[in-house]
Structure 1
Amino acid sequence: MGNAGPIDEYVVSMRHALRGPGGARRDLLAEARDSLLDAAEAYECEGLPRAEAERLAVADFGTVPEVAPGFQEELAVSQGRRTAALLFLSVPLTALSWSVIWRVFPGTPSMAVAKPEWYGLLSRTVDGIQLATGVAGGLALLALGRGLRRMRRPALVTRWLGLLVWLQMPIMAVMCVGLTVGAQGPAGFSGYIPGLVVSSITYALAAWWLHSAAHCLLYTLGAPALSAVDRERSLSRS
Protein backbone atom coordinates (compact mmCIF):
# COMPACT_ATOMS: atom_id res chain seq x y z
CA MET A 1 0.00 0.00 0.00
CA GLY A 2 3.04 2.29 -0.38
CA ASN A 3 1.50 4.10 -3.38
CA ALA A 4 -2.03 4.15 -1.99
CA GLY A 5 -3.74 7.48 -1.61
CA PRO A 6 -5.67 8.70 1.43
CA ILE A 7 -8.93 7.22 0.13
CA ASP A 8 -7.49 3.74 -0.41
CA GLU A 9 -5.83 3.82 3.01
CA TYR A 10 -9.11 4.90 4.58
CA VAL A 11 -11.06 2.08 2.91
CA VAL A 12 -8.49 -0.48 4.05
CA SER A 13 -8.74 0.80 7.63
CA MET A 14 -12.52 0.61 7.43
CA ARG A 15 -12.37 -2.95 6.09
CA HIS A 16 -10.27 -4.02 9.08
CA ALA A 17 -12.70 -2.36 11.48
CA LEU A 18 -15.87 -4.01 10.16
CA ARG A 19 -17.25 -7.51 10.74
CA GLY A 20 -20.11 -8.81 8.65
CA PRO A 21 -21.31 -10.92 5.72
CA GLY A 22 -18.73 -10.81 2.93
CA GLY A 23 -21.00 -9.56 0.16
CA ALA A 24 -22.69 -6.92 2.30
CA ARG A 25 -19.35 -5.68 3.62
CA ARG A 26 -17.89 -5.40 0.10
CA ASP A 27 -20.94 -3.45 -1.08
CA LEU A 28 -20.75 -1.11 1.90
CA LEU A 29 -17.05 -0.42 1.38
CA ALA A 30 -17.55 0.08 -2.36
CA GLU A 31 -20.31 2.60 -1.66
CA ALA A 32 -18.08 4.46 0.82
CA ARG A 33 -15.19 4.50 -1.65
CA ASP A 34 -17.41 5.80 -4.45
CA SER A 35 -18.67 8.59 -2.21
CA LEU A 36 -15.12 9.55 -1.28
CA LEU A 37 -13.99 9.54 -4.91
CA ASP A 38 -16.91 11.74 -5.92
CA ALA A 39 -16.04 14.20 -3.15
CA ALA A 40 -12.36 14.18 -4.13
CA GLU A 41 -13.22 14.85 -7.77
CA ALA A 42 -15.34 17.81 -6.70
CA TYR A 43 -12.37 19.26 -4.82
CA GLU A 44 -10.14 18.63 -7.83
CA CYS A 45 -12.55 20.61 -10.00
CA GLU A 46 -11.92 23.52 -7.62
CA GLY A 47 -8.22 23.34 -8.50
CA LEU A 48 -6.82 21.32 -5.59
CA PRO A 49 -4.10 18.67 -6.14
CA ARG A 50 -5.31 15.08 -6.09
CA ALA A 51 -3.67 14.14 -2.78
CA GLU A 52 -5.07 17.20 -1.03
CA ALA A 53 -8.51 16.59 -2.57
CA GLU A 54 -8.54 13.04 -1.21
CA ARG A 55 -7.44 14.18 2.25
CA LEU A 56 -10.25 16.73 2.38
CA ALA A 57 -12.78 14.15 1.16
CA VAL A 58 -11.73 11.74 3.91
CA ALA A 59 -11.87 14.50 6.51
CA ASP A 60 -15.41 15.43 5.45
CA PHE A 61 -16.51 11.76 5.54
CA GLY A 62 -15.42 11.29 9.15
CA THR A 63 -12.80 9.21 10.92
CA VAL A 64 -13.02 5.42 11.00
CA PRO A 65 -13.97 5.34 14.72
CA GLU A 66 -16.77 7.83 13.97
CA VAL A 67 -18.17 6.13 10.86
CA ALA A 68 -17.51 2.43 11.49
CA PRO A 69 -20.15 1.92 14.25
CA GLY A 70 -22.99 2.95 11.95
CA PHE A 71 -21.67 0.76 9.15
CA GLN A 72 -21.23 -2.12 11.60
CA GLU A 73 -24.86 -2.00 12.59
CA GLU A 74 -25.89 -2.09 8.94
CA LEU A 75 -23.89 -5.31 8.60
CA ALA A 76 -25.48 -6.68 11.78
CA VAL A 77 -28.93 -5.98 10.36
CA SER A 78 -27.94 -7.72 7.12
CA GLN A 79 -26.89 -10.82 9.07
CA GLY A 80 -30.12 -10.66 11.06
CA ARG A 81 -32.16 -10.72 7.86
CA ARG A 82 -30.25 -13.78 6.64
CA THR A 83 -30.76 -15.65 9.89
CA ALA A 84 -34.42 -14.68 10.14
CA ALA A 85 -35.08 -15.90 6.60
CA LEU A 86 -33.24 -19.15 7.34
CA LEU A 87 -35.32 -19.83 10.45
CA PHE A 88 -38.58 -18.79 8.83
CA LEU A 89 -38.10 -21.17 5.89
CA SER A 90 -36.17 -24.14 7.22
CA VAL A 91 -37.47 -24.75 10.76
CA PRO A 92 -41.11 -25.34 9.73
CA LEU A 93 -39.86 -27.35 6.75
CA THR A 94 -37.93 -29.63 9.10
CA ALA A 95 -41.01 -30.20 11.26
CA LEU A 96 -43.09 -30.92 8.15
CA SER A 97 -40.49 -33.37 6.85
CA TRP A 98 -40.67 -35.46 10.01
CA SER A 99 -44.47 -35.44 9.94
CA VAL A 100 -44.48 -36.61 6.31
CA ILE A 101 -41.81 -39.26 6.86
CA TRP A 102 -43.83 -40.99 9.56
CA ARG A 103 -46.95 -41.02 7.42
CA VAL A 104 -45.30 -42.19 4.19
CA PHE A 105 -42.70 -44.49 5.78
CA PRO A 106 -44.11 -45.57 9.15
CA GLY A 107 -41.37 -48.17 9.58
CA THR A 108 -41.18 -51.92 9.81
CA PRO A 109 -43.11 -54.08 12.29
CA SER A 110 -39.91 -54.62 14.27
CA MET A 111 -39.77 -50.90 14.94
CA ALA A 112 -43.26 -50.76 16.45
CA VAL A 113 -42.32 -50.37 20.10
CA ALA A 114 -44.73 -49.28 22.78
CA LYS A 115 -44.30 -45.53 23.26
CA PRO A 116 -43.99 -44.24 26.84
CA GLU A 117 -46.68 -42.02 28.30
CA TRP A 118 -44.58 -38.89 28.04
CA TYR A 119 -43.96 -39.33 24.31
CA GLY A 120 -47.08 -37.49 23.12
CA LEU A 121 -46.46 -34.45 25.33
CA LEU A 122 -42.80 -34.28 24.33
CA SER A 123 -43.68 -34.55 20.65
CA ARG A 124 -46.19 -31.71 20.90
CA THR A 125 -43.66 -29.60 22.80
CA VAL A 126 -41.06 -30.06 20.07
CA ASP A 127 -43.60 -29.19 17.39
CA GLY A 128 -44.63 -26.09 19.34
CA ILE A 129 -41.05 -24.88 19.76
CA GLN A 130 -40.34 -25.40 16.06
CA LEU A 131 -43.48 -23.51 15.09
CA ALA A 132 -42.63 -20.67 17.48
CA THR A 133 -39.10 -20.46 16.10
CA GLY A 134 -40.39 -20.23 12.55
CA VAL A 135 -42.84 -17.50 13.58
CA ALA A 136 -40.06 -15.64 15.40
CA GLY A 137 -37.96 -15.79 12.25
CA GLY A 138 -40.82 -14.37 10.21
CA LEU A 139 -41.44 -11.54 12.67
CA ALA A 140 -37.74 -10.69 12.79
CA LEU A 141 -37.58 -10.68 9.00
CA LEU A 142 -40.49 -8.24 8.93
CA ALA A 143 -38.95 -6.06 11.64
CA LEU A 144 -35.61 -5.85 9.85
CA GLY A 145 -37.32 -5.06 6.57
CA ARG A 146 -40.39 -2.86 6.54
CA GLY A 147 -40.21 -2.22 10.26
CA LEU A 148 -36.65 -0.91 10.22
CA ARG A 149 -37.71 2.75 10.04
CA ARG A 150 -39.58 2.42 13.34
CA MET A 151 -36.79 0.73 15.28
CA ARG A 152 -34.21 2.64 17.30
CA ARG A 153 -31.82 -0.30 17.76
CA PRO A 154 -32.43 -2.87 15.01
CA ALA A 155 -29.22 -4.75 15.80
CA LEU A 156 -30.88 -5.94 19.01
CA VAL A 157 -33.19 -8.07 16.88
CA THR A 158 -30.16 -9.71 15.30
CA ARG A 159 -28.62 -10.34 18.70
CA TRP A 160 -31.91 -11.74 20.00
CA LEU A 161 -32.07 -14.20 17.10
CA GLY A 162 -28.57 -15.42 17.85
CA LEU A 163 -29.39 -15.92 21.52
CA LEU A 164 -32.67 -17.65 20.69
CA VAL A 165 -30.98 -20.29 18.56
CA TRP A 166 -28.07 -20.92 20.91
CA LEU A 167 -30.26 -21.14 24.01
CA GLN A 168 -32.86 -23.44 22.56
CA MET A 169 -30.61 -25.77 20.56
CA PRO A 170 -29.31 -27.83 23.52
CA ILE A 171 -32.86 -28.22 24.84
CA MET A 172 -34.15 -29.26 21.43
CA ALA A 173 -31.29 -31.73 21.01
CA VAL A 174 -32.15 -33.47 24.28
CA MET A 175 -35.86 -33.58 23.47
CA CYS A 176 -35.26 -34.94 19.96
CA VAL A 177 -33.04 -37.70 21.33
CA GLY A 178 -35.85 -38.51 23.74
CA LEU A 179 -38.33 -38.72 20.86
CA THR A 180 -36.02 -41.00 18.89
CA VAL A 181 -35.54 -43.38 21.80
CA GLY A 182 -39.20 -43.24 22.75
CA ALA A 183 -40.36 -44.02 19.21
CA GLN A 184 -37.72 -46.50 18.05
CA GLY A 185 -36.07 -47.83 21.18
CA PRO A 186 -32.38 -47.58 22.09
CA ALA A 187 -31.34 -48.59 18.57
CA GLY A 188 -32.84 -45.37 17.21
CA PHE A 189 -33.08 -45.19 13.41
CA SER A 190 -30.49 -47.91 12.78
CA GLY A 191 -31.49 -49.58 9.52
CA TYR A 192 -34.39 -47.19 8.92
CA ILE A 193 -33.22 -45.37 5.78
CA PRO A 194 -35.93 -42.64 5.61
CA GLY A 195 -35.31 -41.70 9.22
CA LEU A 196 -31.55 -41.62 8.68
CA VAL A 197 -31.94 -39.36 5.62
CA VAL A 198 -34.19 -36.86 7.38
CA SER A 199 -31.96 -36.97 10.47
CA SER A 200 -28.92 -36.11 8.36
CA ILE A 201 -30.75 -33.16 6.81
CA THR A 202 -31.91 -32.01 10.24
CA TYR A 203 -28.38 -32.16 11.66
CA ALA A 204 -27.00 -30.23 8.69
CA LEU A 205 -29.64 -27.53 9.09
CA ALA A 206 -29.01 -27.36 12.84
CA ALA A 207 -25.32 -26.76 12.17
CA TRP A 208 -26.30 -24.00 9.71
CA TRP A 209 -28.61 -22.41 12.30
CA LEU A 210 -25.86 -22.41 14.90
CA HIS A 211 -23.31 -21.00 12.46
CA SER A 212 -25.63 -18.20 11.38
CA ALA A 213 -26.64 -17.46 14.97
CA ALA A 214 -22.99 -17.30 16.04
CA HIS A 215 -22.39 -14.63 13.40
CA CYS A 216 -25.43 -12.72 14.68
CA LEU A 217 -23.77 -12.53 18.08
CA LEU A 218 -20.34 -11.74 16.65
CA TYR A 219 -21.54 -8.91 14.42
CA THR A 220 -23.58 -7.23 17.17
CA LEU A 221 -20.79 -7.01 19.73
CA GLY A 222 -20.53 -3.33 20.57
CA ALA A 223 -22.81 -2.24 17.68
CA PRO A 224 -24.56 1.04 18.64
CA ALA A 225 -27.69 2.45 17.10
CA LEU A 226 -27.61 3.66 13.53
CA SER A 227 -27.55 7.37 12.94
CA ALA A 228 -30.42 8.82 10.93
CA VAL A 229 -28.19 9.20 7.84
CA ASP A 230 -26.86 5.65 8.09
CA ARG A 231 -30.35 4.20 8.52
CA GLU A 232 -31.67 6.02 5.48
CA ARG A 233 -28.75 4.65 3.46
CA SER A 234 -29.49 1.12 4.69
CA LEU A 235 -33.17 1.45 3.85
CA SER A 236 -32.35 2.68 0.34
CA ARG A 237 -30.50 -0.57 -0.32
CA SER A 238 -33.18 -2.83 1.22
Structure 2
Amino acid sequence: MLIDDYAAELRRALSGPYGPKRDLVVEARHSLLDCAEAYQAQGLRRTEAERRAVEEFGPVRDVAPGYQEELTASAGRRLGLLLFVSVPATVLAWGLIWSFQPAETWVAADRPEWFTTASRLLDVVQLAFGLYGGLALLALSRPARWIPRPRLVTRSLGLSVWLLLPLNTLLGLLISHASQLPASTLSSTPVVLANVLTYAFAGTQLYCATRCVMLSRKAWPPAAARSR
Protein backbone atom coordinates (compact mmCIF):
# COMPACT_ATOMS: atom_id res chain seq x y z
CA MET A 1 0.00 0.00 0.00
CA LEU A 2 1.27 3.46 -0.92
CA ILE A 3 1.22 6.46 1.39
CA ASP A 4 -1.74 8.26 -0.17
CA ASP A 5 -3.82 5.07 -0.04
CA TYR A 6 -2.87 4.54 3.58
CA ALA A 7 -3.78 8.13 4.51
CA ALA A 8 -7.15 7.76 2.76
CA GLU A 9 -7.90 4.54 4.63
CA LEU A 10 -6.92 6.10 7.94
CA ARG A 11 -9.17 9.08 7.22
CA ARG A 12 -12.11 6.77 6.53
CA ALA A 13 -11.47 4.79 9.69
CA LEU A 14 -11.52 7.82 12.00
CA SER A 15 -14.49 9.79 13.26
CA GLY A 16 -14.43 13.11 15.04
CA PRO A 17 -14.16 16.89 14.67
CA TYR A 18 -13.06 17.82 11.17
CA GLY A 19 -10.09 20.03 12.08
CA PRO A 20 -8.36 17.68 14.56
CA LYS A 21 -9.07 14.68 12.31
CA ARG A 22 -7.50 16.41 9.33
CA ASP A 23 -4.47 17.41 11.42
CA LEU A 24 -3.91 13.85 12.66
CA VAL A 25 -4.11 12.39 9.16
CA VAL A 26 -1.78 15.07 7.79
CA GLU A 27 0.67 14.41 10.64
CA ALA A 28 0.63 10.68 9.92
CA ARG A 29 1.13 11.29 6.20
CA HIS A 30 4.08 13.61 6.82
CA SER A 31 5.68 11.00 9.08
CA LEU A 32 5.27 8.39 6.36
CA LEU A 33 6.72 10.72 3.73
CA ASP A 34 9.76 11.43 5.89
CA CYS A 35 10.31 7.72 6.43
CA ALA A 36 9.89 6.99 2.72
CA GLU A 37 12.37 9.71 1.78
CA ALA A 38 14.88 8.20 4.19
CA TYR A 39 14.48 4.78 2.56
CA GLN A 40 14.70 6.39 -0.88
CA ALA A 41 17.97 8.03 0.13
CA GLN A 42 19.26 4.54 0.91
CA GLY A 43 18.67 3.54 -2.69
CA LEU A 44 15.14 2.12 -2.73
CA ARG A 45 12.75 3.07 -5.50
CA ARG A 46 9.94 5.45 -4.54
CA THR A 47 7.13 2.90 -4.56
CA GLU A 48 9.16 0.38 -2.58
CA ALA A 49 10.21 3.09 -0.12
CA GLU A 50 6.58 4.06 0.45
CA ARG A 51 5.53 0.45 0.95
CA ARG A 52 8.34 -0.06 3.43
CA ALA A 53 7.34 3.10 5.34
CA VAL A 54 3.69 2.03 5.50
CA GLU A 55 4.64 -1.44 6.69
CA GLU A 56 6.85 0.03 9.39
CA PHE A 57 4.12 2.48 10.49
CA GLY A 58 1.68 -0.36 11.11
CA PRO A 59 -1.76 -1.44 9.86
CA VAL A 60 -4.62 1.02 10.15
CA ARG A 61 -6.47 -1.34 12.51
CA ASP A 62 -3.54 -1.03 14.95
CA VAL A 63 -2.90 2.70 14.51
CA ALA A 64 -6.49 3.95 14.45
CA PRO A 65 -7.43 3.34 18.12
CA GLY A 66 -4.81 5.76 19.41
CA TYR A 67 -5.84 8.44 16.95
CA GLN A 68 -9.52 7.84 17.68
CA GLU A 69 -8.93 8.25 21.41
CA GLU A 70 -7.42 11.66 20.75
CA LEU A 71 -10.34 12.65 18.52
CA THR A 72 -12.81 11.58 21.20
CA ALA A 73 -10.94 13.66 23.78
CA SER A 74 -10.95 16.57 21.34
CA ALA A 75 -14.75 16.35 21.03
CA GLY A 76 -14.99 16.32 24.82
CA ARG A 77 -12.78 19.38 25.08
CA ARG A 78 -14.98 21.25 22.63
CA LEU A 79 -18.13 20.44 24.59
CA GLY A 80 -16.44 21.28 27.89
CA LEU A 81 -15.32 24.65 26.55
CA LEU A 82 -18.79 25.31 25.14
CA LEU A 83 -20.43 24.64 28.51
CA PHE A 84 -17.81 26.63 30.40
CA VAL A 85 -18.42 29.67 28.18
CA SER A 86 -22.08 29.43 27.17
CA VAL A 87 -23.63 28.74 30.56
CA PRO A 88 -22.19 31.86 32.26
CA ALA A 89 -23.02 33.91 29.15
CA THR A 90 -26.65 32.78 29.29
CA VAL A 91 -26.91 33.40 33.04
CA LEU A 92 -25.37 36.85 32.61
CA ALA A 93 -27.76 37.76 29.79
CA TRP A 94 -30.86 36.82 31.77
CA GLY A 95 -29.45 38.34 34.95
CA LEU A 96 -29.09 41.69 33.21
CA ILE A 97 -32.64 41.47 31.89
CA TRP A 98 -34.09 40.75 35.32
CA SER A 99 -31.99 43.52 36.87
CA PHE A 100 -33.28 46.19 34.49
CA GLN A 101 -36.93 45.22 34.62
CA PRO A 102 -39.18 47.65 36.51
CA ALA A 103 -39.85 46.28 39.97
CA GLU A 104 -43.62 46.39 39.67
CA THR A 105 -43.58 44.04 36.66
CA TRP A 106 -42.07 41.12 38.52
CA VAL A 107 -41.64 41.62 42.28
CA ALA A 108 -45.32 42.19 42.89
CA ALA A 109 -46.50 39.39 40.60
CA ASP A 110 -48.62 36.69 42.19
CA ARG A 111 -46.29 33.76 41.79
CA PRO A 112 -46.86 30.13 42.86
CA GLU A 113 -45.19 28.76 45.98
CA TRP A 114 -42.78 26.63 43.98
CA PHE A 115 -41.32 29.61 42.10
CA THR A 116 -38.38 30.21 44.46
CA THR A 117 -37.53 26.49 44.66
CA ALA A 118 -37.58 26.15 40.87
CA SER A 119 -35.46 29.28 40.48
CA ARG A 120 -32.84 28.00 42.91
CA LEU A 121 -32.86 24.56 41.30
CA LEU A 122 -32.25 26.21 37.93
CA ASP A 123 -29.28 28.06 39.42
CA VAL A 124 -27.87 24.76 40.73
CA VAL A 125 -28.31 23.02 37.37
CA GLN A 126 -26.62 25.87 35.52
CA LEU A 127 -23.78 25.95 38.04
CA ALA A 128 -23.29 22.18 37.65
CA PHE A 129 -23.27 22.58 33.87
CA GLY A 130 -20.56 25.23 33.89
CA LEU A 131 -18.38 23.62 36.56
CA TYR A 132 -18.44 20.16 35.02
CA GLY A 133 -17.66 21.63 31.63
CA GLY A 134 -14.63 23.41 33.08
CA LEU A 135 -13.44 20.32 34.96
CA ALA A 136 -13.81 18.14 31.87
CA LEU A 137 -11.93 20.68 29.78
CA LEU A 138 -9.10 20.62 32.31
CA ALA A 139 -9.06 16.82 32.56
CA LEU A 140 -9.01 16.35 28.78
CA SER A 141 -6.41 19.00 27.98
CA ARG A 142 -3.15 17.57 26.70
CA PRO A 143 -0.73 19.25 29.14
CA ALA A 144 -2.84 18.43 32.20
CA ARG A 145 -4.33 15.07 31.18
CA TRP A 146 -4.24 12.90 34.27
CA ILE A 147 -7.04 10.42 33.61
CA PRO A 148 -6.33 6.96 32.17
CA ARG A 149 -9.53 6.73 30.07
CA PRO A 150 -10.49 10.11 28.62
CA ARG A 151 -13.20 8.42 26.56
CA LEU A 152 -15.25 7.96 29.73
CA VAL A 153 -15.04 11.67 30.57
CA THR A 154 -16.22 12.57 27.08
CA ARG A 155 -19.08 10.11 27.34
CA SER A 156 -20.15 11.28 30.80
CA LEU A 157 -20.06 14.89 29.60
CA GLY A 158 -22.35 14.10 26.67
CA LEU A 159 -24.74 12.08 28.83
CA SER A 160 -24.89 14.84 31.44
CA VAL A 161 -26.02 17.29 28.75
CA TRP A 162 -28.68 14.82 27.60
CA LEU A 163 -29.90 14.57 31.21
CA LEU A 164 -29.60 18.16 32.44
CA LEU A 165 -30.42 20.16 29.32
CA PRO A 166 -34.11 19.12 29.21
CA LEU A 167 -34.37 19.83 32.94
CA ASN A 168 -32.72 23.21 32.48
CA THR A 169 -35.08 24.07 29.60
CA LEU A 170 -38.17 22.93 31.51
CA LEU A 171 -37.26 24.96 34.59
CA GLY A 172 -36.56 28.02 32.46
CA LEU A 173 -39.94 27.76 30.75
CA LEU A 174 -41.78 27.27 34.05
CA ILE A 175 -40.06 30.24 35.66
CA SER A 176 -40.68 32.43 32.64
CA HIS A 177 -44.39 31.51 32.62
CA ALA A 178 -44.77 31.98 36.38
CA SER A 179 -43.07 35.39 36.30
CA GLN A 180 -46.21 36.81 34.69
CA LEU A 181 -44.32 39.45 32.74
CA PRO A 182 -46.43 41.62 30.45
CA ALA A 183 -46.47 40.84 26.75
CA SER A 184 -44.61 44.07 25.99
CA THR A 185 -41.72 42.88 28.12
CA LEU A 186 -41.62 39.38 26.61
CA SER A 187 -41.52 40.83 23.09
CA SER A 188 -38.89 43.44 23.88
CA THR A 189 -35.59 43.31 22.02
CA PRO A 190 -33.41 42.30 25.02
CA VAL A 191 -35.70 39.38 25.92
CA VAL A 192 -35.92 38.20 22.31
CA LEU A 193 -32.13 38.34 21.95
CA ALA A 194 -31.65 36.48 25.23
CA ASN A 195 -34.07 33.78 24.06
CA VAL A 196 -32.24 33.45 20.74
CA LEU A 197 -28.91 33.18 22.56
CA THR A 198 -30.29 30.61 24.99
CA TYR A 199 -31.78 28.33 22.34
CA ALA A 200 -28.78 28.68 20.04
CA PHE A 201 -26.47 27.58 22.86
CA ALA A 202 -28.84 24.76 23.82
CA GLY A 203 -28.98 23.44 20.27
CA THR A 204 -25.21 23.55 19.93
CA GLN A 205 -24.76 21.82 23.28
CA LEU A 206 -27.15 19.06 22.28
CA TYR A 207 -25.38 18.55 18.93
CA CYS A 208 -21.93 18.39 20.55
CA ALA A 209 -23.21 16.10 23.31
CA THR A 210 -24.68 13.69 20.77
CA ARG A 211 -21.38 13.61 18.90
CA CYS A 212 -19.49 12.95 22.14
CA VAL A 213 -21.77 10.04 23.05
CA MET A 214 -21.52 8.53 19.57
CA LEU A 215 -17.74 8.84 19.43
CA SER A 216 -17.20 7.46 22.92
CA ARG A 217 -19.17 4.30 22.14
CA LYS A 218 -17.38 3.60 18.84
CA ALA A 219 -15.79 0.15 18.79
CA TRP A 220 -12.15 -0.16 17.74
CA PRO A 221 -10.74 -1.54 15.62
CA PRO A 222 -13.54 -1.06 13.09
CA ALA A 223 -15.40 -4.16 11.96
CA ALA A 224 -14.07 -3.74 8.42
CA ALA A 225 -10.52 -3.77 9.71
CA ARG A 226 -11.11 -6.76 12.01
CA SER A 227 -12.46 -8.81 9.14
CA ARG A 228 -9.30 -8.48 7.10
TM-score (norm 1): 0.85
1:193 to partner: Cα distance: 3.5
Select which of 132, 144, 148 maps to 1:147: 144
Q: How does 1:32-71 map to 2 (within 5 A)?
A: 32-71=28-67
What secondary structure does 2:97 align onto?
helix
Asked if the contact 1:112–1:184 (Cα under 8 Å) also holds between the matched residues in 2, the reply is: no
Amino acid at match of 2:78: R
Shift of 1:28: 0.5
Aligned counterparts, 1:44-193, within 5 A: 44-106=40-102, 109=105, 113-145=109-141, 146-148=143-145, 150-184=146-180, 190-193=186-189
Number of paired residues? 219
User: What's the % identity of the aligned pairs?
Assistant: 47
In the aligned structure 2, how far is the partner of 1:147 from the partner of 1:103?
39
Q: Deviations over 1:132-183 (max 9, x none)?
A: 11111111111112431x2211121111111111111111221111111111
For 2:3, the aligned partner's letter is I
Amino acid at match of 2:75: Q
Whether the 8 Å contact between 2:126 and 2:168 is mirrored in structure 1 is no
Question: C-alpha separation between the residues in 1 aligned to 2:193 and 2:103?
Answer: 13
Separation (CA, whole Å) in 2 of partners of 1:186 and 1:222: 49
Q: Distance in 1 between matches of 2:97 and 2:109?
A: 17
The aligned residue for residue 11 of structure 1 is 7
Whole-angstrom CA distance in 2 between matches of 1:109 and 1:153: 51
Structure 2: stretches of 5+ with no match in the other structure: 221-228
CA RMSD in angstroms comes to 2.2
Code of the residue aligned with 1:175 in structure 2: it is: L
Kept in 2: contact 1:111–1:184 (CA 8 A): no
Q: CA deviation at 1:123?
A: 0.3
